[in-house]
Structure 1
């Protein structure tokens, strides 16, 4: 059973220096292992391929249930298996292999040159693609050699390095466990429904979190310990966290209308039950309905036209009497107005004289247009007045 790992590096020499110090066995692919650093540099200079990435650091580890880290035969077998894996995965790359036996797990460090010897181009893609490609070939080689094939656990939601596994066996917590515990505590709170609340709650637990591309990065406050969510496990990745927060927001929006409708219904029922107690009537709705029905008779409904208020016979008779009384008064007033229109000239001259001689009215404005005086006529209003 073998596990694999790969990541890019900006210095091939640094990778060789680290792997070569503790190597019990070493071998090379497309290069002389004794001159690994110089040959890797020579290829970069020949092709002149610019860029920061010089090599890729990879590792294959085998289970102690299959190989003894201190047995020379097992060491040789593990190195042969690792060389076959990298020969199939990267046939046109320079690969330097260094086997370490300083742990219970026999593992091989591989320094893979970034430049393809046939095309002169660098490896293109991301480390996820390289890892999947390497895992597939490793499982194939192990199966052909009769070794156990690593079966991924579908229920595994945490990713732990070998150092973390050893610390856990010693019952010693790690800083990654502190971050995992803080995130679990925050996500157990149902009131955390957006990323801002998620950040604020983690900050209270001395954990800082921010978005970085497609990942979330966690850091213990006051330290340089930080890790991406993908390295902590599936439950701590950006996609998992954001999907859970979005589902909580959707659930909250769906529950709000139901609660408001139930509250309105309960209030209406409560007011309806309290109505008889407040009014002092056993059934106010029934009594109200009886009063409305008794206010109009069927006869009134048939006599009055639709859309008009009911009129009684007494009111109609009273209106007819008022018309009879007011008709002679109107006739008398009309005759009086006609008689007053025929004004006496002497009265008019007197009025005009008084208007001219009255000093109190001297300052008042008079209209520009004055009515013309008619010829004097005999005053017959006294003899021919209206008679009632």
Structure 2
């Protein structure tokens, strides 16, 4: 049963120096293990792609139930299995292998050159993808060699020491568990989107956190208990926390942009709706005006309407009936008043009756006296002393 690990590094020489000191056996793939540092540097210089990432640090550990760390035969077998794994996982990379036997399990440290020997390009991706790829290859090679395959641990995102495991078996919480619980509670809050908010929220839970190089360090306030995120587990490492915070910021900006787009669309729709209502109001007034014009036409105009024109609406007929009902009392009142006036002036009627009637036979004759009387006489100014006022 084997477990794997891989992480990016900015110094290939430093990785080689660390792994070479305690190595019991070593081997290389696509390079001479005796000149690992110089050959890794030559490849970077030839392809002119130095960059920040020079290599990837990886590790494969085997269970003590299968291999004895002090047995030379087991040491050779483990190194051969590790070389088969990395040769299949990274066939175009430089790989330096160093086997350690200073713990309960045999494990092999691998320094993987970042540059592909065929394309000259660097490895692209993140260490999560590299680890998943390496795990699949490791399980495949272990099956081929007849070894046990590592089963996924549901708590693999948490790292626990033997002392923690014993305390947990006794149902006794540890100070590291307090830090883990505080970090889990903080990351469950979707409003935590930057490292400052992350620090402030943890401080309210009596946990202090700060950056220390590539790691995060956690400490219980008021105590000397502190630990790096790499010792607590994968979920508490700096890269995991920062990636999650960056993802939340991106999601927040996307949501804000979507809300602004929706708001602009709604406002535009409301404006168009109001304009439509205004236009419909003008059309209604025009229609009412046309109805009034139609209502004011004379009966003669209505009789001359073409036969194809639609009949008068019921509303217009009702309006006309109301007008007739309103005007009929006015006509009746006017008639009564006229009759009253004719009764109050009987002298005018008698004078008209006493007037001599003209003989129709004499209408054609001229009456000189009457005509002369009808002609106006010239004014006599002799009797006037001055002009009239």
Q: Structure 2 length as normaliser, TM-score?
A: 0.51
- Tell whether the 8 Å contact from 2:210 to 2:218 is kept in structure 1 after alignment: no
CA distance in 1, matches of 2:12, 2:157: 31
1:165 aligns with 2:157: no
Cα distance in 2 for residues equivalent to 1:47 and 1:157: 38
Match of 1:62 in 2: 62
Match of 2:161, SS state, is helix
Partner-residue secondary structure (3-state), 2:179: helix
Task: Specify the alignment match of 2:84 in structure 1.
Answer: 84
Distance 2:51 2:200 in 1: 39
Change (3 A) 1:87 1:126: same
With over 3 angstroms needed to count, the CA separation of the structure-2 counterparts of 1:53 and 1:62, relative to structure 1, is same
Within a 5 Å distance, the mapping from 1:324-335 to structure 2 comes to none
Cα distance, 1:51 vs. partner?
0.6
Equivalent position of 2:131 in the other structure? 131
Aligned residues, how many? 230
Deviation at 1:85, TM superposition (A): 0.1
User: Quick one: distance in 2 between partners of 1:20 and 1:136?
Assistant: 27
**Take 1:174 and 1:181, find their aligned partners in 2: how far apart are those partners?**
11
User: Is the CA contact 2:167–2:174 (under 8 Å) kept in the aligned structure 1?
Assistant: no
The answer for the alignment partner of 1:38 in structure 2 is 38
CA distance in 2, matches of 1:174, 1:40: 44
Residue 18 of structure 2 corresponds to residue 15 of structure 1: no
Structure 1 residues 175 and 84: CA distance shift in structure 2, 3 A: farther
Q: Secondary structure at the match of 2:76?
A: helix
1:177 Cα deviation after fit: 3.5
- CA distance in structure 2 between the aligned counterparts of 1:22 and 1:201, rounded to whole angstroms: 42
Contact 1:167/1:174 (8 A) holds in 2: no
CA distance 1:158–1:133, change in 2 (3 Å): closer
CA distance in 1, matches of 2:156, 2:74: 33
Aligned-residue offset at 1:137: 0.3
CA distance in 2 between counterparts of 1:157 and 1:63 reads 16
Q: Alpha carbons of 1:93 and 1:205: their partners in 2 closer, same or farther (altered >3 Å)?
A: same
RMSD: 3.8
Give yes or no for the alignment of 1:231 onto 2:227.
no
Residue 114 of structure 1, CA deviation: 0.7
Matched residue SS, 1:159: coil
Offset, 1:56: 0.5
- The residue aligned with 2:72 is 72
- In the TM superposition, residue 200 of structure 1 has moved relative to its aligned partner by 5.2
